[in-house]
Structure 1
Amino acid sequence: MGPLQPALSELLLSHRSIRKYTDREVPQDLLERAIEEAVAGGSTYGNLNAFSFVVTRDAEQKKKLRGFHNQSMLTDCSVVVTICADWFRTREWLKSHSAKDNFDNFLGYHVAVVDAVIMAQNLVLGLESRGLGVCYLGTTLEVMKQISDLLELPETCLPVTTLVIGYPAENPPKRDRLPTKAYIHNEVYHKPDPQEIAEMYASREVSGWNRYMGQPELRAKIEKNGIKGLAEYYTSDFKYPEQDFLKFGKDIWKLLREKSFNAGASD
């Protein structure tokens, strides 16, 4: 497998999302070792471990996932890992000892989501430290029901995020972030005034806009729709439309009820 080479700070600063991969397969023992380390190094609510990893290598399964996510890298990569908020295993253990079932509710779901995200990020760091490329799929939240059905997830187990994993076939530039002062609030939250907001986003508005406008097909669409800047693009009907956010939000609430994360809830 090889030793973990980069220092943590170097690893964090070199992170970027990889969307193109070689044909080289990621060994199962490497993946399992990285998952083992991710779990060992991650905090979890009450040490109840309310998460699971579903590993997909089968070509047909990956093809189906690609259809849900509508992203070609699902079939180009070596392996896909879906990280789930999962109380099923714990609840079955509780049931076997005639103990109370206290986690089939919205707080339980929220706790499991936090656990799952912690494990996902730990896994990403472990994989990147071994020279692998990884990309998070935010589309998981949009197609939770389809993924849940395909992976045969049981009651109180839902997908939270998806990792596409493989050996990189590209070396994209690192994406910029807002200046550090934008994220740090000492003692209490500091509400930035309009001038501070403008300063925080000044560089991003230029770099982000240039990146999108550097893609000919996207540029044509942007110009056709009369979009003048990055803020307008992000909330456009072909980037992050409000109607989609409202729909997916309703779908998630419905799915939580279907998966029995609704104890104590009222309509």
Structure 2
Amino acid sequence: MESIKNRRTIRKYKQQDISADLLNELLEESFRASTMGNMQLYSVVVTRDAEMKAKLAPAHFNQPMVTSAPVVLTFCADFNRFSKWCRQRKAEPGYNNFISFLNAATDALLVTQNFCTLAEENGLGICFLGTTIYNPDQIIEILGLPEQVIPVATITVGYPDEHPEQPDRLPLRGIVHEERYHDYSPEMIDDIYAYKESLPENKHFVEINHTETLAQIFTNIRYKKSDNDYMSAGLKRVLIQQGFLDE
């Protein structure tokens, strides 16, 4: 699929609506994704209303795509629906545990990727928001998510109003391991990351952020340990609140 080879993240969208028929068709096709035990442990919240998008924006650090995209989709790990079905059929569910959250999150992410691929093949642009698991408590409250439902991915969707450069990717040799995992030597690390480090935009990032290396931008600025620890604690609280972990 050319759309996969040429894909790029779209953050600017035309003020053109996405028809309900097209969106529902793409979602229904995306639900053909592989799923744990054919349980379909996911739900999707479709947000079109401008007021609702404005409420969601702070949970995503006010990234402008949230309010400018015609549609925002929140993909959720969902054991609520399946558990209710079990109880209504005289079966006691035992899914209030971490492994069940992982199974449901995996289901939801497989569907998310299916949707993104289908949307781009149909001329739409998407942006994946990794902020969803940073502030799940806010999203849960805004969207009214019940126990055993946790948001794991948010996608903004619309017709592209830009054509940005494709981001770089690591070479195949740096990711694929034949037969067993082969750990990386210092020389291999230098080779795998050489192209990324050579890009003018990345050299510019290093310069304007006054760091010595590109890696320091990730560890000291973009994804700091203190932030990761803080958000990890928040996610753990949400897992307890939503019934996937014991206190």
TM-score, length-normalised on structure 1?
A: 0.89
CA RMSD for the aligned pairs? 1.3
SS at match of 1:134: strand
The CA deviation string for residues 116-157 of structure 1, in whole angstroms up to 9 with x for no partner, is 000000000110011000000001111100001100001100
2:182 paired residue number? 190
1:62 paired residue number? 53
Classify 1:219/1:56 alpha carbon distance in 2 versus 1 (closer, same or farther; 3 Å): farther
1:27 aligns with 2:19: yes
Counterpart mapping for 1:106-125 below 5 A: 106-125=98-117
1:149 aligns with 2:141: yes
- Give the deviation of 1:214 after TM superposition: 4.8
2:36 paired residue number? 45
Query: How many percent identity over aligned positions?
Result: 37
1:254 aligns with 2:246: no
Structure 2 residue runs of 5 or longer lacking an equivalent are: none
AA partner of residue 212 (structure 2): K
The CA deviation string for residues 199-244 of structure 1, in whole angstroms up to 9 with x for no partner, is 000001122xx325557xx954x03xxx1221011112x3111101
SS at match of 2:222: coil
1:245 aligns with 2:235: no
- Give the deviation of 1:187 after TM superposition: 1.2
Structure 1 residue runs of 5 or longer lacking an equivalent are: 1-7
2:216 paired residue number? 232
Classify 1:181/1:164 alpha carbon distance in 2 versus 1 (closer, same or farther; 3 Å): same
Cα distance in 1 for residues equivalent to 2:235 and 2:229: 10
SS at match of 2:87: helix
**Number of residue equivalences:** 246
1:165 paired residue number? 157
| 2:81 pairs with one of 80, 89, 99 | 89
1:15 paired residue number? 7
Classify 1:219/1:71 alpha carbon distance in 2 versus 1 (closer, same or farther; 3 Å): farther
AA partner of residue 225 (structure 2): E
Structure 1 residue runs of 4 or more that deviate by more than 4 Å after TM superposition: 212-215
Cα distance in 2 for residues equivalent to 1:139 and 1:110: 18
Classify 1:219/1:31 alpha carbon distance in 2 versus 1 (closer, same or farther; 3 Å): farther
SS at match of 1:54: strand
| 2:170 pairs with one of 178, 181, 184 | 178
Classify 1:192/1:212 alpha carbon distance in 2 versus 1 (closer, same or farther; 3 Å): closer
- Give the deviation of 1:65 after TM superposition: 1.1
Cα distance in 1 for residues equivalent to 2:25 and 2:195: 40
AA partner of residue 227 (structure 2): D
Classify 1:180/1:110 alpha carbon distance in 2 versus 1 (closer, same or farther; 3 Å): same
- Give the deviation of 1:259 after TM superposition: 0.5
Cα distance in 2 for residues equivalent to 1:73 and 1:79: 10
1:211 aligns with 2:201: yes
